């Protein structure tokens, strides 16, 4: 999947910008796209000054957690949120210790994907295969490379942070 990331320099007032994006809060994303399209037309037609930085082919950062005889009360830390393996999980940060490392990996990935915690939801997603959980930043680019990753014992992580997120190829359109 290819990603296009855009950063818009909006030189007009803050109130004007809020009016531009307010349909998002009202659940009207098509209206935002219409306004954005109109705005880009006015910039390209010379009626407005602005600059737009776009990055194409941005890559999402990712990392892996590998379980090796994971046991109850071992922890995994993702983006500074500690998840604890429990035989009977009850807390928002607890996940079910499975009968095998493969089952435990499946349970952790499900817990991450179902999480409502601010540093997890819309920030990372997870998949599992065998005893390995792959954590991927939801936002493409370098920003994902700062997401932390750790394990307390009985396993390993691919690195202290998610890695390989990149901005892709930058294109700047300047009409200022």
Q: How far apart are CA 39 and CA 48, in angstroms?
A: 8
E strand or H helix that includes residue 155: strand 155-157
Domain boundaries, the chain: 4-56, 62-157
pLDDT digits (tens, 9 = 90+) for 41-97: 887 777 777 777 677 788 999 999 999 999 999 999 999 999 999 999 999 999 999
Distance CA 170, CA 173 (A): 10
Q: DSSP code of 132? A: E
Task: For residue 113, name the pLDDT band (cuts at 50, 70, 90).
Answer: very high
- CA gap 125, 127 in Å, rounded: 7
Q: What are phi and psi of 157, to 5 degrees?
A: -120, 160
Q: pLDDT tens, 88-112?
A: 999 999 999 999 999 999 999 999 9
pTM over 0.85: no
Q: Are 97 and 131 in contact (CB under 8 A)?
A: no
Asked whether 175 and 151 are in contact (CB, 8 A), the reply is no
- Please name which of 84, 79, 81 lies closest in space to residue 153, comparing C-alpha atoms: 84
Token pair, residue 14, equals: 């803050």
């Amino acid at each position: 999947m290819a990603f296009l990331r855009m950063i818009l320099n909006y030189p007009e007032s803050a109130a004007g910008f809020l009016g531009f994006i307010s349909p998002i809060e009202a659940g009207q994303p098509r209206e935002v796209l219409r306004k954005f399209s109109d705005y880009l037309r006015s910039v390209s037609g010379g009626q407005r000054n602005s600059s737009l930085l776009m990055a194409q082919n941005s890559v999402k950062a990712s990392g892996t957690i590998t379980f090796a005889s994971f046991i109850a009360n071992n922890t995994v830390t993702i983006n500074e949120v500690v998840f604890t393996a429990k035989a009977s999980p009850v807390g928002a940060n607890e996940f079910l210790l499975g009968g095998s490392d493969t089952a435990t990996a499946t349970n952790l990935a499900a817990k991450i994907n179902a999480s409502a915690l601010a540093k997890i939801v819309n920030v990372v997603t997870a998949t599992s295969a065998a005893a390995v959980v792959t954590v991927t930043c939801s936002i493409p680019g370098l920003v994902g490379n700062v997401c932390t990753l750790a394990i307390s014992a009985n396993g390993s992580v691919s690195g202290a942070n998610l890695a390989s997120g990149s901005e892709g190829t930058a294109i700047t359109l300047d009409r200022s």
